[in-house]
Structure 1
């Protein structure tokens, strides 16, 4: 059995895999080698280097492990047509992303950017606006593993959490739930609106100008899911019209964010270069999931972690 990686774990991580699974042949190559892929049974990737033409030629490929949560760059249709199993690392981002999200919220609430700017200017001023997180309401679009972890932490700060998903079905650490269809009804109650939604047919451009017009003028909008949940021109307009007070953006329609984009110079926007999930533990956690799944797969166990529904795209 040949297992091809198109990224390079640390040497000791590679050695651990080889020693744990001696019956498998591991090949670690970066970038993707198309000829090697043709004879691989398992392919492990970050999900940005596999195209439809690769699937056509990879006759032996049975399982694709994506060491990421996002799948929008994967040729899902072709993978489904070949009936290839696909899994990802859903869930490993929850700790670093929840910490990043909370850091941004507290920074804004306590005006830390202003404090830092005053320090750079050598200006002593204690007339800095500060507000409490306690008693506020957070609306979380996409209350899955990451959203649930954010909800758990926010509840510890005394925040009322509202989850929003396609069905309105209950999710962990949400005080109440709503659906995409009823989103406008709850937006006026939220002090923080956080999107952690994936990119799917249902979520692309889900948020319109009318949604931002429904929000509190003091609201913080945060996007840590995928950039196409709202058109950037719509968000720029909403910010200029003061429909909301702040936007914290970790993802964008096109990345990297182009030079001269309005977001760079807007005082009420924080640009985070798609880094909220960065962690020294990322690859370790990804390989833990892969190893558990590989053990199950080699034992003929069908129940594996994070199997992707290729029709839904998640």
Structure 2
């Protein structure tokens, strides 16, 4: 399987705001004082549109779907948490922690993709029934797929259940790499809500905040796994994670040129050495996502659901 795709799905928000239901364990979310909900959404739309234009300009195939006013889905801008699309034609639906995020799942998106020539298998793998029992696995936010090496990485959290993760790995023939990752919140170590906040997998490299993995044996296991697959490991700090430097995604543009997509704040937080290390592998593309990061507690990677589906000839 290939690691990097040229095609992504993005959802343009209509009522973006800080989601009170996700803030209970997403410690990156902030209240922007003095801004009306309309202003927050308008700023998010502006950031979204600028970001999409930058992606399209380098030849990335972006399918933009407009969100709807009802139901109320303030986090719809982050579709990678509820759906994933695979080379086999498989589509996977994931169980979501926040009740209002479950409303983001839309069947019409599959029709839109089929109209664009993407081929989808008749059977959808659906783990959403686990929500009824209080178990969650939030898509490629919770699990990072090293497709070429057949591994899946997962930092366990209230949004990433171990048994569900293992079930996914068995269903799709990935070897599970399981650990816990933490961040400091008001002097306490708390579980990081999504793996893709502290880690990014490219075809030939990995960006990771090893300091987030408090258990030394787990940290060594994860780093050994990455290096064993001959990936260059580029270490970032917890301070850089707070600027969303772990929340990146590698995509292909024109002529299969590889780009590492990230926010402006992530880019600015990187050192010259880290940028030089990354530029040995990819071209960096960044865009300002300040409002989306502050209110949503997610960044560039969360906004893009990769499409690996086969296409009609």
What range describes the TM-score normalised by the shorter chain of this pair? under 0.3
TM-score (norm 1): 0.28
Larger radius of gyration: 1
Q: Which has the higher strand share?
A: 2
TM-score (norm 2): 0.28
Question: Of the two structures, which has the highest relative contact order with CA contacts closer than 8 Å and spacing of 6 or more?
Answer: 2
